[in-house]
Amino acid sequence: MKPYAEMTMEELEGLEKELRAEYKKIQARGLELNMSRGKPCTEQLDLSMGMMDVLSSEMDLLCEDGTDCRNYGVLDGIPEALELIGDMMEVQYDHLIIYGNSSLNVMYDQISRSYSHGVMGNTPWCKLDKVKFICIVPGYDRHFRITEYFGIENVCVPMLETGPDMDMIEKLVSEDESIKGIWCTPKYSNPTGNSYSDETVRRFARLEPAAKDFRIYWDNAYTIHHLYDHAQDHLIEILAECKRAGNPDLVYKFASTSKVSFPGSGLAALASSLNNLEDIRRQLQVQTIGHDKVNQLRHVRFFGNIHGMVEHMRRHADILRPKFEAVEEILEEELGGLGIARWTKPKGGYFISFDTMDGCAKEVVRKCAKAGVIMTPAGATYPGGHDPHDSNIRIAPSFPPLEDLKTAARLLALATKLAAAQKLLKEKQQEAAGAGN
């Protein structure tokens, strides 16, 4: 079939009628499918069930240094957990603090402390007239909601294949002292699946922000979340690169085991310079006496070391890979060459970014919902839920069973074709009406 934009009004009328009939047939099936969030599926969660057996009441719960994990203390995390998570994050153990189960919680706390008490002696953001944060779009909605919650102005910068538009970022942060940070998901980014190029990482490390308390919020959520053994994206380690560039305090680096072990019961961590960690500890020791050391010990005894963790993630990939490939194959089969949609083909992470024709994303999501498939709301990948092009939809293939996922992908493709045909037909009709006048 030729591209929709090349069709005559008569061809579009016939196509729209045909697609509408096909859509009504699917509606009549009464589907109830949900692919709105990137949750691990049951089979993935089952991979970590052995973690429930590595500790028992008969075992000692002592660390290598003799610390009793049942008791208070150890603010940074137990030594063997620091080593394990440090290897996962590619940082030295002494540049790391292990928290509870949620890296999002750690990011929220970091914004909250900066807002109420400032960063390394700088003015608390709550006392400033204006505070701004850069958001790379399309991006992670929960990042944007944190800064929105504190009344911080989100400034959008577009995502490219190599990472965010660094020309824009360099100009913005160097000229505007009210810009205090930037949200980044540098590897297998949410939702595009793109990873930052070496040049992009180096340019981040060499930023010259006007604000002394500017920080890069480097959420490396998918650091070991590859789909393939050999075709993998690799990222320059940002803390080491910042140190080489003479900017050691520029970055807060976050990660967790949320999609490695159990999402609700994993380990989250923050890595940064020694100066930043000292500043954080002063506030953290008021907030807590220490995090869950028993869970830290459980993770260490289950995985053993980073090699055990990497092997564990290969089993995750074996479950996820067929799902991603099925979605990509169906989209190519149904939409390839039509000129009405484009999508990413990530090598890892949890999402596929799907772009409709401008002005069609909300209608596509609405049509999917009316036929029984819930998608992530159109616009969710932009601050405030406002996509200026109304084109981006985040696809989350991980949770549904494979056959359900295939059904959902075919419905998404059909809804996209129908919405595009209706949009183009309306434009042709308006043109014809205008010419008649």
What's phi and psi for 252, nearest 5 deg? -105, 120
Q: What DSSP assignment string belongs to 235-260?
A: ---HHHHHHHTT-TTSEEEEEESTTT
* pTM: predicted TM-score of the whole model, two decimal places: 0.96
- Reading the chain (437 residues) residue by residue, the pLDDT tens digits are 899 999 999 999 999 999 999 999 999 999 898 888 889 999 999 999 999 999 999 999 999 999 999 999 999 999 999 999 999 999 999 999 999 999 999 999 999 999 999 999 999 999 999 999 999 999 999 999 999 999 999 999 999 999 999 999 999 999 999 999 999 999 999 999 999 999 999 999 999 999 999 999 999 999 999 999 999 999 999 999 999 999 999 999 999 999 999 999 999 999 999 999 999 999 999 999 999 999 999 999 999 999 999 999 999 999 999 999 999 999 999 999 999 999 999 999 999 999 999 999 999 999 999 999 999 999 999 999 999 999 999 999 999 999 999 999 999 999 999 999 999 999 999 988 877 66
- 3-class SS of residue 286: helix
Closest CA to 235 of 93, 350, 89: 89
**Tokens matching residue 339:** 């000129």
Alpha carbon distances (Å) from 424 to 98, 113, 355: 53, 50, 16
Instruction: Report the topology of domain 63-304.
Output: Aspartate Aminotransferase; domain 2 (3.40.640)
- Domains 4-44+310-432 and 63-304 are alike in CATH topology: no
- Residue 401 φ/ψ region, left for φ over 0, alpha for ψ in the -120 to 50 degree band, beta for the rest: beta
Do the beta carbons of residue 325 and residue 402 sit within 8 Å? no
> How many residues are recorded in the chain?
437
Yes or no: say if 176 and 163 are a contact pair by the CB < 8 Å rule. Answer: no
How confident is the model over 169-225, as pLDDT tens digits? 999 999 999 999 999 999 999 999 999 999 999 999 999 999 999 999 999 999 999
Query: Distance (Å, rounded) from C-alpha 408 to C-alpha 356?
Result: 16
Residue with tokens 């070391």: 305
pLDDT, tens digit (0-9, with 9 covering 90-100), for 344-391: 999 999 999 999 999 999 999 999 999 999 999 999 999 999 999 999
- Class of the domain covering 4-44+310-432: alpha beta
- pLDDT value at position 437? 61
SS3 track for 109-143: HHHHHHHHHCCCCCCCHHHCCCCEEEEEECCCHHH
All structural domains of the chain with their residue ranges? 4-44+310-432, 63-304
